Structure 1
Amino acid sequence: MSEIKNVPLPDIGDFDEVEVIEILVAVGDTVAEDDGIITLESDKASMEIPAPFAGVIAEIKVTLGDKIKQDDIILSIKSVGNDAEIVEEVAKVVSAEPKILPVVVPDIGDFDEVEVIEILVNAGDVLSEEDGIITLESDKASMEIPTPLAGKVIDINVALGDKVKLGDLILNIKSTSVEAVVTKDTAPKPTAAPAPKPTNTPAPQTLDQSVSTTPKGDSHASPSIRKLARELGVDLSNVTGTGQKSRILDTDLKGYVKQIITSGGTGGLPKTPVIDFSKFGLLEIQPLTRINKLSGKHLTACWLNIPHVTQFDEVNIDKMETYRQEQKANGVKLTPLVFIMKGVVQALQAHPRFNASLDESGENLIIKKYFNLGIAMDTPNGLVVPVIKDVEQKSLLELATELAQTSAKARNGKLSPKDMQGAGFTISSLGGIGGTQFTPIVNAPEVAILGVSRSFNKPSWNGKNFVPELTLPLALSYDHRVIDGAQGGRFMAELNNILSEANYD
């Protein structure tokens, strides 16, 4: 028998509230157990929440941009016992007759009447549930009103400047829940409203006309973002949104203003050229994975905001390799990385400034007394950085076992949010791939990262002869606001000594 069950947000780690940045299903969709249903994003990571059981999506109770916490209801699923029941439940919804339903002004708080300052749709537009339809403004706040159901706009019953109140008709929509689901990917995009006729009224001033001479078309943003933009004198059509469906986020608006201020009105960073590559030959378009997109934004922010310095060194690891081979002969397989992890923790204990973060003001250093290491791992979907905790308390064998298990989870996309939190320092090892050196990007809010390249034999003069020496190339990148060159040099010398003398126990 089918049964409708609510799906609450599970324990996602040490977060009070996280933002919904992606809804991966629609009403009427059939999901299997562990299929993704929504994506959440905190200031540290993004996470995909899976369905705990199979069935048909009956109702979605969150919208993009919502802040939710543990046990909040995400959606409800009509659980079914077999494929025949799934087909039957979907057929019931698909066969529902489309209806023309009114959309009225909902309860918007303690206001008698509020003004319509923006109409976001046109007659004939096809909407998804929770798409914005109008923006209202009172003397205290502005608010975007979403459509409570999906479908096609039949007519609009308000105009710019109208004063509306609770229960007033906004528009009529022809909709069934599944009709919207079926058409959402193929429906025509909303048509742009006709351009206003030119008048003699001067255009509103932006922060810098030299930066914003070319509007980018329709802009999508929340009421709070629109209000802030009006206060700052920013034309949102000139701000590029990085949110879902190019929605303008708080960080986009603040970044735009910061760019203008820091560039002195000269336009900030130049844009890269847009080129039609198809005129040169055949092409293949490969969309970036979600991990690519998220890590790309994070690394760009790290590179632009942190003054990087990278120091290079080479370590003689003959003793380490001898010990490793002895253990291997005894049936204990240890990778070089576990030795490096133990050595890094010893160096961090001697140089605590490297196991730290700047506070929000940028005026205080937060020294971490725990020793958790982020380990960058390559996966089919992109780079991830799970965290191995309490490294100083674990043996080489324990670290090797945990690394192997974590690597398998990373490759299979099974890392949880807790697996990605709490690092104080990161190691990025390309030893199994190759290369002689590289310059790793500091993984903010950390202040340093160690890059490890492939070891190689090089001739070394011992006073009488050249002898082969197994050499490990290291690259230490650090935040120059926190760590100066002398401190970086001392850390590398300490780590070199630990690794070369096999002082990793």
Structure 2
Amino acid sequence: MEVKLHDIGEGMTEADINCFLVKPGDAVKADDPLVEVQTDKMTAEIPAPRAGIIKEFKVQPGDTVSVGTTILILESAGQDSREQEEEEEEEEVTYAAAYDLQHEPAKSFMAFKGKRVLASPFTRKIARENGIEIESIRGTGPAGRVMDEDIYQHMASAQNMPPQAEQTEVSSKQISSSAENGIIPFRGRRKQIAKKMAQSLYSIPHCTHFEEIDVTELISFRNELKNLNQNISATAFFLKALSICLKDFPVFNAELHEGKEEIHLLSEHHIGIAVDTKEGLIVPVIKNAESKTIREIHAEMKKVSEKAMENKLSVKEISGGTFTISNVGPLGGSFGATPIIQHPQTALVSFHKTKKMPVVTNDDQIVIRSMMNISMSFDHRVADGATAVRFTNRFAELIKNPKMLVLEMV
């Protein structure tokens, strides 16, 4: 049978072939990892859909292939050709029906009598490494898909202990970014970043508003917390303040649907945090920031940032963003830039370097304050400049008086 590249998640259309984990002639079992691929957001393994013997490869490491492309040929062991054809036809029906059911969550996948259980390669890997037959797990995801949490819950139930809260993504080989002979390969995440940035710039009329924010009191407040053994990052405060601003100005937490002539205001604040990694920019998402405390946001940011640096983020952790922030301040850059919006979002805010500067107060006194520039890019089809100014003014108010955040969270 033909083993093809399938959509791992987030509507991917192509991936780079990193390396093969088997060789022609190898015997494999169902769900054994066959090949490692690199998408724009993550590294993943493609598992064997059934037991068999590797006959031949149809692509080579380094190739960029589209979803649906045949990667290798897997022969069945000890079956006659007719039996093999019937089984492959049945599997094709299973895959097709599973795909259809994914788009109709109301139907129960448990009623479907196919051979394959809906689950991601990583979820299958968790089950395989823990000696669990994934077919025995009742999936709680759309269309009965078995989720990572289902495996952990099953393990916890078997051991009579709480389920594992923190999941670990597969650690796999990285595509080397070192330059050889003065040439850097333009593929993988870098290529996908370029495509997405071009899409955003071509489709969204960007407008950027710059503002100067007084962060003196925030720095002082954070020092107070440090004395109480509470080390909370400034970015956690920024993210919470932005969530409050998005509640006041929901037009910046929206998606434009031009075909329907509608702007959809989104009530949940799923805020992406741009992380600079060796493999390129990646944006893990803090889900439901509107309902999280600053301490919870800080802890989650720390966790996903570490996973981003280790290339261990799951698809769930990098999808569904409704607004994005970029903190380039630690790297420098005092005056700001024009950040590119993550399509189909409406806005993005970038934080720049904090500097001590002389500031004239309302009573004409000159004092030294810690000032930070921010850049806010927004879709000018959805919002106007005046609204962006009001948004950043509200943000500046909250950061200048950080203890006000406590009042807003009541």
Structure with bigger gyration radius: 1
Counterparts of 1:263-412 in structure 2, within 5 Å, are 284-288=182-186, 290-361=188-259, 363-412=261-310
Counterparts of 1:90-489 in structure 2, within 5 Å, are 284-288=182-186, 290-361=188-259, 363-436=261-334, 437-462=336-361, 463-489=363-389
Aligned partners of 1:412 and 1:476: how far apart in 2? 29
Aligned partners of 1:439 and 1:417: how far apart in 2? 27
Counterparts of 1:493-504 in structure 2, within 5 Å, are 493-502=393-402, 503-504=404-405
C-alpha spacing 1:411/1:490, structure 2 compared with 1 (3 Å): same
Aligned partners of 2:14 and 2:183: how far apart in 1? 28
Match of 2:390 among 462, 487, 490: 490
Aligned partners of 2:309 and 2:392: how far apart in 1? 31
Aligned partners of 1:56 and 1:427: how far apart in 2? 47
Unaligned runs of 5+ in 1: 1-5, 79-281
Higher relative contact order (CA 8 A, sep 6+): 2
Q: Which amino acid aligns with 1:429?
A: N
Partner secondary structure for residue 358 of structure 1: strand
Q: Which amino acid aligns with 1:58?
A: I
**TM-score normalized with structure 2 length:** 0.62
Structure 1 residue 47, shift from structure 2 partner = 4.3
Q: Which amino acid aligns with 1:421?
A: S
Aligned partners of 1:456 and 1:343: how far apart in 2? 21
Unaligned runs of 5+ in 2: 60-64, 77-179
Structure 1 residue 457, shift from structure 2 partner = 0.9
Partner secondary structure for residue 368 of structure 2: strand
Q: Between Structure 1 and Structure 2, how many residues are aligned?
A: 287
Aligned partners of 1:73 and 1:284: how far apart in 2? 30
What is the match of residue 50 of structure 1? 45
Partner secondary structure for residue 415 of structure 1: coil
Aligned partners of 1:394 and 1:409: how far apart in 2? 20
What is the match of residue 171 of structure 2? none
C-alpha spacing 1:485/1:60, structure 2 compared with 1 (3 Å): farther
Aligned partners of 1:377 and 1:34: how far apart in 2? 32
Structure 1 residue 408, shift from structure 2 partner = 1.1
Structure 1 residue 295, shift from structure 2 partner = 0.3
What is the match of residue 37 of structure 1? 35
Aligned partners of 1:75 and 1:367: how far apart in 2? 47
- Asked if structure 2 preserves the Cα contact closer than 8 Å seen for 1:289 and 1:381, the reply is no
Aligned partners of 1:35 and 1:381: how far apart in 2? 23
C-alpha spacing 1:51/1:433, structure 2 compared with 1 (3 Å): same
Partner secondary structure for residue 490 of structure 1: helix
Moved more, 289-298 or 337-346: 289-298
- Asked if structure 2 preserves the Cα contact closer than 8 Å seen for 1:18 and 1:67, the reply is no
Partner secondary structure for residue 470 of structure 1: strand
Partner secondary structure for residue 454 of structure 1: strand
- Asked if structure 1 preserves the Cα contact closer than 8 Å seen for 2:270 and 2:285, the reply is yes
- Asked if structure 2 preserves the Cα contact closer than 8 Å seen for 1:34 and 1:50, the reply is no
Structure 1 residue 77, shift from structure 2 partner = 10
**TM-score normalized with structure 1 length:** 0.51
Aligned partners of 1:57 and 1:454: how far apart in 2? 57
Identity %: 29
**Larger helix percent:** 2
Counterparts of 1:65-80 in structure 2, within 5 Å, are 65-67=66-68
Aligned partners of 1:379 and 1:369: how far apart in 2? 30
Structure 1 residue 504, shift from structure 2 partner = 2.4
Task: Please provide the CA RMSD for this pair.
Answer: 3.7
Deviations 1:146-189 (A, max 9, x none): xxxxxxxxxxxxxxxxxxxxxxxxxxxxxxxxxxxxxxxxxxxx
Structure 1 residue 8, shift from structure 2 partner = 10
What is the match of residue 148 of structure 2? none
- Asked if structure 1 preserves the Cα contact closer than 8 Å seen for 2:54 and 2:72, the reply is no
Deviations 1:97-119 (A, max 9, x none): xxxxxxxxxxxxxxxxxxxxxxx
- Asked if structure 1 preserves the Cα contact closer than 8 Å seen for 2:17 and 2:38, the reply is no
Deviations 1:90-143 (A, max 9, x none): xxxxxxxxxxxxxxxxxxxxxxxxxxxxxxxxxxxxxxxxxxxxxxxxxxxxxx
